[in-house]
Structure 1
């Protein structure tokens, strides 16, 4: 008795990776901010500002333990790099993109004001982009949940 086997080899399928849509720099910054604030909290701190030598050693933002927590949490979350990328993304905008961004900033500020935030007056930077003079939630923190809620209401996250 003779047994014959045949095998058919299919050529491997060629797959072409689909490029992932680049994450919006503002959304990426909020994600990093959430991680950074969570890290600070786990170290027993909340963000009270950046160190300021002019304020003197008694300023809470110049406390050595707080500074150590800032450095640790920055190294864990890369918040400084993410903020720099966010700033760079804003520097590369066309006039039409600046106009659209400003319209979104106005709408976002109005939404946050309705939630009790103080965003202060909006004023343009050197590129013409509007920025709030203040940016504080009712409890004094930077609550990204409110920001995300407003962005979602206004359908801003994808822009």
Structure 2
């Protein structure tokens, strides 16, 4: 299994990055955030981790699940230019989505001539952004600290 690195988040999308176990292949997935009753758009890019050039003729499987239910299954996908786009079924909730990408190899034609990692599974977890709620909690926490600090200094002077 490859390593997972959480990338950038915004109110509309999330980017997650995974590395193959040998560290040579970097998989970047940018998704729309999970929203109940909507589909989720996924863009995938396969890069060489040394230099970041996009890999060509990538063969892979992709599976996405939410709450234990399959919302996307594309087997034997081929990304000629190293990029791919996938769309899930309609989501049942705003809950996180788990994505598994299985690397099948690089090349065209006969599978026996494909190179690179074969059968390696990279797992990703896309968690919806709670920007507004997180910001409110942060502001309330900071205000509480300031108020408590101010009261503590006043009681020390008495």
- Scaled to the shorter chain, the TM-score interval is under 0.3
**Higher relative contact order, structure no. (Cα contacts within 8 Å, ≥ 6 residues apart):** 2
Greater Rg by CA = 1
- Structure showing the higher strand proportion among its residues: 2
TM-score, normalised relative to structure 2: 0.28
Q: Scaled by the length of structure 1, what TM-score is found? A: 0.28
More helix by share: 1
